[in-house]
Structures are given as C-alpha cells and as structure tokens.
Amino acid sequence: MAAVLAAAACNTTGCLDNQSALPLAGLFSSATGKPITLNNIEIRGVGAPGDSLLVAKGTSVSEIYLPMRSTMQQTAWRIIYAQEGLEGIEDVVTFDYDSEPYFASEECGAMYNYRITRCSTTYNLIDSVVVADSLITNVDRLRIKIYFHTSEEPEDPEEPENPDTPDTPDTPANPDTPDE
C-alpha cells in the first residue's frame, strides 16, 4: 500500500499548466503606449456557434483571452462600444491562423497550439493590432496588443495658465522710448 501511495505521490503534480492555448490580448493607448482599461464594452465572437459572448455589456476590460476555434482557420471578435456618445460604433479584429495539434504529456493529453499568420481590423477606435508572438501556446503570456485611439494629455505644460492674469500684448519696457 505504501508503494501505491508513493507512486501516486510522485504523480501529484499532474498537469498544472493551462491546458488551453488561449491568446491573451492587452489593451493599450496609441498616444502613450501604456495599458488602458476600456469601460462599458461588449466583446462577441463573429460567426461563432452558440453563445459567443466573452465580455458582457457594461464591463471594464484591460486584458482578455480570445479563444480560437481549432476546426477553423479564422476567428473574428467584435468589440462593441457602449459608452455614451459611442453607441453604434464597433470594431472587428480578425485572426487567420494554422491549428497545430500538440501532445503535451500523458497527464495533460493533447491540445492545440495556434500560429497566427495574419491579423486584420477595422479602424473605428482601434489604431492598430500587434501580434508580439505568433505562436499561441498554453503559456500564460501577453501575445497580442490592441492599440486604441485615445486623447493625449500634455505631460509637462510649458507655462501654467493663470486665469487671474488678463491676456495683454507685449509692450516695450519704456513706452516713451522710440523703437530703433
């Protein structure tokens, strides 16, 4: 009995890795390059069977896993902006890829890796999409960066505005002295 327990104990780690190859996408400002959070959006699969809702309307997101279909060579995601003033605006991000079956181990079994071959998008609020690593495996790492148009805040204004000082044109130091 001790031998059976010892053998089972040797195999307790099993498959601790993520068993699905899901690309992690981060959202970034195209103006600053810094991560951002989009408020009040909805993300749905395009042409996906059944319920393809990834992010429900009203949710705030800074990163999202975008699952791909192993039986297809293309998956598209619709980002619907539900913020006030943005109603009716949406973007679609489409990935073309090759599915690669991968046998991880006896404990983990088989899974699919994906190699992204092409990415396209609409450009309503999206500025660009960067695929940092085209091979999508079960390693939990940011692989896709989606850059959105954002307004750029001035980092260090040259001179702060003083609302108490009226705007006056430049005048010579001594108005009685003629210009030379």
Percent of residues in the chain assigned helix, strand, coil, to nearest 5? 5, 45, 50
Quick check: 68 and 23 in contact, CB under 8 A? yes
Q: Which residues of the chain have pLDDT under 50?
A: 1-12, 154, 157, 159-160, 162-163, 165-175, 177, 179-180
Q: SS3 of 158, please?
A: coil
Handedness of CA 127, 131, 136, 139 (dihedral sign): negative
Handedness of CA 166, 168, 170, 173 (dihedral sign): negative
Q: Which helix (H) or strand (E) holds 5?
A: helix 2-10
> Tens of pLDDT along 118-153?
999 999 999 999 999 999 998 899 999 999 999 865
Quick check: 129 and 93 in contact, CB under 8 A? yes
Specify the pTM: 0.73
